[in-house]
Structure 1
Amino acid sequence: MARTDTDKALVGILLDRYGRTYAEEAGIRLADKPGPLYQLLVLATLLSARISAEIAVAAARELFAAGFRTPRSMREASWQDRVDALGRGHYRRYDERTSTMLGDAADMLIDRWSGDLRRLREEAGRETRRTKALLTEIPGIGPTGADIFLREVQVVWPQVAPYLDGRVLDAAQTVGLPRQGGPLAALVGSDDDLARLSAALIRVSRHKGSTDEVKSAARSSR
């Protein structure tokens, strides 16, 4: 099997077995609207901590179930209400600090961008590097959180695509895919699939057994 065919087989396996975005997993119906974009930002905040993705997703779902789906509702919630929601998602190691950061971030989003991340994008001139820099000014969002947000938001912000950060490219290399953004992006047919592939690669990179499974499945398909 030619290299390109092997790569496409690997991508197919990754998408089929692990290709669900973290936004989907958290119950976010991602759209270029203030509410879903803010929810993705909250999820990126939670995912960027040194805690399992499963717990981060569960905590995001609890925050949203409690009604904290917009910057205003997050700001109006008490600090303890946010801590309690995070605790129900078992996000306990970082619950108090994260509650504070979520409140501070909501304040900033409302004061600077009227609670609408599309205004952040426009302030950045729709330029990806500047968008990332502005994201990292938000409390709780460092470079890792900004990468998480951008790799998922490219589904609805096409000007960001293809967004493949170093962690995704490292994971691609580990499973035998190209570590270059252009060749890797060329293996999928849409920005949606690219976001799904990125999520799949991150999931697989966290579990050596999954990496071995994907490689074995690809060898079997030759």
Structure 2
Amino acid sequence: MPALRQSILLQDADLITIAQTRSQGHLGAMADRREVGASVTDVIGARGNWPALRLLAANRTAELSGQGLARLAALSRGDGHITVALTKRTDLPAAVKGGLLARFRDMVMAQRSVLRGEHSDVQLDQVPPGDMSVPAASAPARQGGTDPLSAEKLRSAAVRVGVLSQSRPLTCTEVSDALARGRLTEAVVILARLSDEEPETFVHALRGLSPVKNLALR
């Protein structure tokens, strides 16, 4: 639906009417629209399904109201893609970004292979707008008496990720792919690179031992 994504003739009033009455495909197209206004994104956030909400969260040119940001932050506990996408936004408070990163840490440490809301226990029609707070994540437990993020495993994963980065640019998709294959350490190394951190520094941050300098992932 290129017209919904690109047409400069459509006014917010037109987009709101479409968002209130048309299909999820229409909502997804508008969620991907450049510089779409908050009055429109509020409707998309309220009516959109998981794919539309992922597009909205990833659209850094979309204007989100406080209520819209709060809803996406609340929904992010069920969808790792929304969680990571929100950390890229410049209009999200730093404290909330830290909470989102901690939430993603828990997803990673739990080795959740599926990071999509469709497969979570979060129901879109049961999440209230809430506020901008994100509950603190619990400290990751070591599994089987071994550290899944030891220095040795990080070094080995860094070599594999380095080879991968030579063939294509690293994105959040590679994080999900690594988790889907059960490669937890590779997922963390990729996420560290996306946040411009050394893997060891990033792991310390995940464990709550130090802050992450740059939460705005590319």
TM over 0.5: no
Q: Which has the higher contact order (CA 8 A, sep 6+)?
A: 1
Structure-1-length-normalised TM-score? 0.27
Q: Structure 2 length as normaliser, TM-score?
A: 0.27
